[in-house]
Amino acid sequence: MLIDFFLHLKENRLPVSIKEFLALLEALQQHVIEHSLDDFYVLSRAILVKDETHFDKFDRAFGEYFKGVEALPGMEALIPEDWLRQAVKKHLTDAERAKLEKLGWDKLMETFKKRLAEQKERHSGGSKWIGSGGTSPFGHGGTHPEGIRVGGKSENRSAVKVWEKREYRNLDDSVELGTRNIKVALRRLRRFARQGAAEELDLEGTIAGTARNAGWLDLRLRPERHNAVKVLLFLDIGGSMDDHIRVCEELFSACHSEFKHLEYYYFHNCVYEYLWKDNRRRHSERIDTHDVLHRYGNDYKLIFVGDAAMSPYEILQPWGSVEYNNAEPGATWLRRLTDTWPHAIWLNPESEHAWQYRQSTSLIHNLMGGRMFPLTLDGLERGMRLLSK
């Protein structure tokens, strides 16, 4: 099995060697790690990956190969405590789910503060206290149409607030374009980029022309070999966007290769008062959105990339962000951005027919004046055509 794993890494173009693989086998024989797949992941990445730029590729390859595997063959594994906790999770029928009433934003926050003050011990499987499982709007691992997730992993993605520090990873701009649709979309981006291309100095032609003209300056220009279109790329990262990492990386890689004047920023769900360039430092190296608004001219084309899947509170409500308390609603910031850069579109990786079922997607669609397009060949073509006008 591990030989097949090694070959799988090679197929995914990871520069792993036989020597490193033998070192991994030796570490397993010496019982360097406990009997868990998580420990094996940490050990194998530390031994096999020599350059941190390959971490993302390794993570994807590891996930593909060990999908559904709970333990390495021949190694006894203990059942993780988190799995036992999930055993108390209450599974609701559709009728039971329909009976759960949404508290509303103000009532939800007021009740959460009250629970924090009153609760003195751990709870699991209930409908009131902060805990795991059950139908309480506070905690994790349970089911509620609208609540605050405290710890745990996202499962139903219905939380309007998340009480934890969340880590996102940067998109890989070196991802090879693997699908036919994105390759064809690249040609559309090139066509868009050539429109309005500027001219650059033809130095050799100018020197030759000046020499032939007895020293009188004969300035020669030629069309700029690379495009002169200026693009601002705003990328939603984390949460439900994890399902669309691959297609977003393909688009990100295409934009890096095709646009000479490309600036990009990350945000989560909706844009608020700050953005960031590096997801690993998003809490320590924030960029004021006001600074971005004043940094680039209105000749830039603005492209948002996101699934627009969030709580409506994040768009309409001050303090509505899922991660922190924003002073102004997301709608206010979206209007500022589109007023500054009127040539703006939103690319949505979710299927277009599903947009009508999400209130937040309809809100973003309206705020963008209908300029939302699916992240498909046809959607990119329509979006690029609109931006080029």
Domain assignment of residue 36, yes or no? yes
Q: Do 105 and 313 form a contact (C-beta atoms < 8 A)? A: yes
Span 262-308, pLDDT tens digits: 999 999 999 999 999 998 877 888 999 999 999 999 999 999 999 99
Beta bridge partners of 301: 231
200 or 77: which leads in pLDDT: 200
Position 204 in a domain: no
Same domain, 57 and 194: no
Q: What is the pLDDT of residues 12-39, one digit of tens each?
A: 888 888 888 888 888 888 888 776 777 8
By CB atoms closer than 10 A (0-12, 13-18, 19+), residue 344 is buried
Q: Which stretch of 9-23, 91-105, 128-142 has the lowest confidence by average pLDDT?
A: 91-105
- Report phi then psi at 223, rounded to 5: -60, 140
Query: Does some domain include residue 171?
Result: no
In a domain, 30, yes or no: yes
Give the lowest-confidence range in 102-111, 227-236, 257-266, 354-363: 102-111
Q: What's the one-letter identity of residue 48?
A: L
- Residue 42, pLDDT score: 85
| pLDDT on residue 77 | 41
Residue type, 301: K
Query: Is residue 72 one of the residues assigned to a domain?
Result: no
pLDDT of 242 > 70? The answer is yes
φ, ψ at 256 (rounded to 5°)? -60, -35
Residues 59 and 95 in one domain: no
Residues 192 and 114 in one domain: no
- What is the C-alpha to C-alpha distance for residues 288 and 265, in angstroms, rounded to an integer? 11
Q: Which two three-digit tokens encode residue 292?
A: 């971005």
Neighbours of 317 (CB within 10 A): 18
Inside any domain, residue 6:
yes
Query: 65, 91, 120: which is the final residue of a domain?
Result: 65
Q: Does residue 342 share a domain with residue 234? A: yes
- Residue of higher predicted confidence among 90 and 254: 254
Q: Do residue 316 and residue 381 come from a single domain?
A: yes
> Which one, of 335, 349, 336, 303, lies nearest residue 192 by Cα?
303
Q: Which of 103-112, 164-173, 190-199, 289-298 has the lowest mean pLDDT?
A: 190-199
146-149 contacts, C-beta under 8 A, 24 or more apart: 146/102, 146/103, 146/108, 146/311, 147/108, 148/108, 148/112
Distance separating alpha carbons of residues 311 and 323, to the nearest angstrom: 12
The predicted structure's pLDDT at residue 60: 86
Q: Scanning the structure block, which residue is given the tokens 């649709």?
A: 181
Average pLDDT over residues 70-78: 50
* 58 and 152 fall within a common domain: no
pLDDT tens digits for 53-73?
788 888 888 888 887 665 555
Residues 288 and 373 reside in one and the same domain: yes
Residue (of 10, 20, 25) closest to 57 by Cα position? 10
Q: What's the pLDDT score for residue 59?
A: 86
Domain that holds residue 45: 2-65
pTM exceeding 0.95 = no
The confidence score (pLDDT) of residue 92 equals 46
* 368 and 258 co-located in one domain: yes
Count: domains in the chain: 3
193 and 116, same structural domain?
A: no
Higher-pLDDT residue of 106, 335: 335
Q: Looking at the structure, tell me whether residues 18 and 57 fall in a common domain.
A: yes
Strand boundaries in the chain, DSSP class E: 123-124, 131-132, 138-140, 147-150, 159-163, 199-201, 221-223, 230-236, 261-267, 274-275, 287-288, 301-305, 344-348, 372-374
Domain membership of residue 230 (yes or no) is yes
In percent, the amount of the chain with pLDDT more than 90 equals 22
Report the C-alpha gap between 233 and 214 in whole angstroms. 49
Residue 78 in domain: no
Q: Residues 258, 375: one domain?
A: yes
**CATH number of the domain that 310 lies in?**
3.40.50
**How confident is the model at residue 198, as a pLDDT?**
52
Regarding whether 98 and 55 lie in a shared domain, the answer is: no
Q: With cut-offs at 50, 70 and 90, classify the pLDDT of residue 178.
A: very low
From CA 165, how far away is CA 260, in angstroms rounded? 35
